[in-house]
């Protein structure tokens, strides 16, 4: 699939892995990692490769340090590992998140403070985005508010 996308002109690949929060470490090493790496190897020619760790990231963040991606994202809301903690374990990679997938309109002040804190800690090693998907019923107005959270101008 990755090769076909690249052959059709895609610049990047978004790869989502799953199971690290339900399998034991040895099970994931056997059943997850080889398939993750096989899929990502097919994306080697992509200019941009992003790994989304689906589910809770509570252990083994170092596993992803050697994955051939530039960006790793996960849900802080569901995980015990924060973006700054993960960034320290994923040296050289950019982390993605900072906006809770449980985000609600009206929480902009707290959200802006969190994103500002992450920018101070991570600098350019941060992509501001929801940690996972947002609710299907999210409004266009709410999406506009979220886009503004990702804009560095209001945070200066």
What does the alpha-carbon distance between residue 74 and residue 80 come to, in Å, rounded to a whole number?
11
Average pLDDT, the chain: 87
Which of 40-49, 56-65, 67-76 is least confident? 56-65
Q: What is the pLDDT of residue 112?
A: 84
What does the alpha-carbon distance between residue 66 and residue 37 come to, in Å, rounded to a whole number?
10
Q: Domain limits of the chain?
A: 2-155
What does the pLDDT look like over 97-119, one tens digit per residue?
988 877 777 777 788 888 899 99
CATH class of 2-155: alpha beta
- Checking if the pLDDT of 130 tops 90, the result is no
Count Cβ atoms within 10 A of the Cβ of residue 147 and give its class: 0-12 exposed, 13-18 middle, 19 or more buried. exposed
What does the alpha-carbon distance between residue 82 and residue 85 come to, in Å, rounded to a whole number?
5
CA dihedral (122, 125, 131, 133) positive or negative = positive
What does the pLDDT look like over 2-55, one tens digit per residue?
889 899 999 999 999 988 888 888 999 999 999 999 999 988 889 999 999 988
Task: Quote the DSSP letter at residue 17.
Answer: E
């Amino acid at each position: 699939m990755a090769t076909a996308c690249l052959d059709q002109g895609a610049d990047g690949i978004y790869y989502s892995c799953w199971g690290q929060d339900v399998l034991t470490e040895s099970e994931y090493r056997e059943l997850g990692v080889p398939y993750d790496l096989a899929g990502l190897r097919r994306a080697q020619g992509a200019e941009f490769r992003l790994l989304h760790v689906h589910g809770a990231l509570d252990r083994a963040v170092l596993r992803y340090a050697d994955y051939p991606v530039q960006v790793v994202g996960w849900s802080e809301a569901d995980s015990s590992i924060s973006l700054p903690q993960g960034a320290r374990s994923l040296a050289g990679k950019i982390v993605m998140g900072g906006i809770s997938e449980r985000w609600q309109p009206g929480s902009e002040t707290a959200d802006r403070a969190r994103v500002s804190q992450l920018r101070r800690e991570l600098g350019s090693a941060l992509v501001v985005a929801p940690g996972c998907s947002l609710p299907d019923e999210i409004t266009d107005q709410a999406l506009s508010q979220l886009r503004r959270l990702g804009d560095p101008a209001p945070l200066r």
